[in-house]
Amino acid sequence: NFVEGRKTASINFEVRYKSSLSINPGYTWFTGGHGAANTYRDRDFAQLYVRYQF
């Protein structure tokens, strides 16, 4: 649904150790919009991915 003024922003990056291990932290936040129509207003989240290749 379209909610006027609602915005989403994300930041993610990757840290590699040698060639087999990587760690990917990130954060996504939702802002703007007004009132109960903006159902994403309380859904900010952090994420962390760890990948190992062998």
Determine the average pLDDT of the residues in 2-25: 92
Burial class (CB in 10 A: 0-12, 13-18, 19+), 7: exposed
By CB neighbour count within 10 A (0-12 exposed, 13-18 middle, 19+ buried), where does 24 fall? middle
3-state secondary structure the chain: CCCCCCEEEEEECCEEECCCEEEEEEEEEEECCCHHHCCCCCCCEEEEEEEECC
User: Structure pTM?
Assistant: 0.72
> What are the tens digits of pLDDT across the range 18-50?
989 999 999 999 888 777 777 777 889 999 999
Q: Is the pLDDT of residue 1 over 70?
A: no
Q: How confident is the model at residue 9 (pLDDT cuts 50, 70, 90)?
A: very high
